[in-house]
Every structure is written in C-alpha cells, then in structure tokens.
A and B are shown apart, each in its own frame.
Chain A
Amino acid sequence: RKEVEQDPGPFNVPEGATVAFNCTYSNSASQSFFWYRQDCRKEPKLLMSVYSSGNEDGRFTAQLNRASQYISLLIRDSKLSDSATYLCVVNMNSGGYQKVTFGTGTKLQVIP
C-alpha cells in the first residue's frame, strides 16, 4: 500500500461547482498535513495547511480525519484558475528527521 494515496482524476467540473478531493495515508503516526497546488509545467506551491479542527481559506476548506486516516480539500465556487493538480503532503518523524511524503496528485479541470 502506498504511504499517501490520491485519486489521480481528472475531475472535470463546471465553473461555480463545488468539488472535493480526498487523500488517504497509511501511517497512523503521521503528524502534519498540507495541500500543495501544481500548475501544468510549473513547480508545486504550498496551498494550505490541514489542521485537526479543520480550516478554511476563502473558497478552500481542508479537513483531517485521523480515525480514518484521510485528509480532504473542498473547493467552493470553482474558478477556471483553480485548474491544476492538487498534491497532498504528509509528514512524520522518522529516524530523528521529518519525513515528508507527497501524494501523486489529483488533477482538476474547471470547464467554462
């Protein structure tokens, strides 16, 4: 089983729609979680952290479910500019270092 798994998509949604992605992780000792965004042929950029209580940044909401070992990203009122690949990132202590594992990404295409 992969350490971090994401549905690769693509998710094709119309403008204005609400879309949600999940990301599951295998190690229950994982400590912290982030979402990154990667535009086509560009480098990944940090989108937002994922806190245990859930957190929101404008149209984006991130949630963590430790019992079921998944994190989610909800995008409301999708814009064309939201089209990108969304990577979930999981962090845990490993051998005294912080081990960071990226998911393979979920591709979102927002259609006019």
Chain B
Amino acid sequence: AQSVTQLDSHVSVSEGTPVLLRCNYSSSYSPSLFWYVQHPNKGLQLLLKYTSAATLVKGINGFEAEFKKSETSFHLTKPSAHMSDAAEYFCVVSDQLSGTYKYIFGTGTRLKVLA
C-alpha cells in the first residue's frame, strides 16, 4: 500500500530564509507524488507534482521538490520564505485502487513565517 509520512508537524522560519518541508513515501511501484498548500479556510492548491519525469520538480511561487528514490523522499524547498507562505502543506501520493486513483495525504506540516 502507498503511504506518505511528513516528518514535521510544525516548521517555523524567518522571512527571507530557506524553507524545508520533509516528506518520505512508501510505494510498491513508481509513485506519483504531489505537494498541496492549504491556506486558512481555503481549499487545496497544487504546488507541484512528480510523475516519473525529471527528479527535480519546479512548482508555483518559487517552490521545488526533489524526488530521491534511494531515500524514498520528496522534500519541498524554497530558497526564501515570504509571509504569504504561512499555511498548511500536504505531501500526497496517488494510489491506484481497482482502477481508481485516490490521493493519500500526509498529516500536514504547518509552516509559520516570522517577520
């Protein structure tokens, strides 16, 4: 079965410093992996996705993630945090269930950006 583990429930960074949100995955086959962001009282917005093409994936708002098969990791990074990045971030793996694709979400990482 597919699963993802987000290693930090809360991360605090100062504005202008790098962001690292960690995600490990477990998969019996080549996975499709995603990062979504959820701002307070909002739905989920896709940041980026990995689908077995380039291992370094660039997303919106300056975010990127690197797929490392040897480490079963898909960590999300951003060189310089902005106040508007404060939100909940979810690492997601797409699981195939009898022909249906469903998302399996991690438990989320709440990012706090300090002025």
A, B co-complexed = no
* Residue positions of A touching B, CB distance < 8 A: none
* Residue positions of B touching A, CB distance < 8 A: none
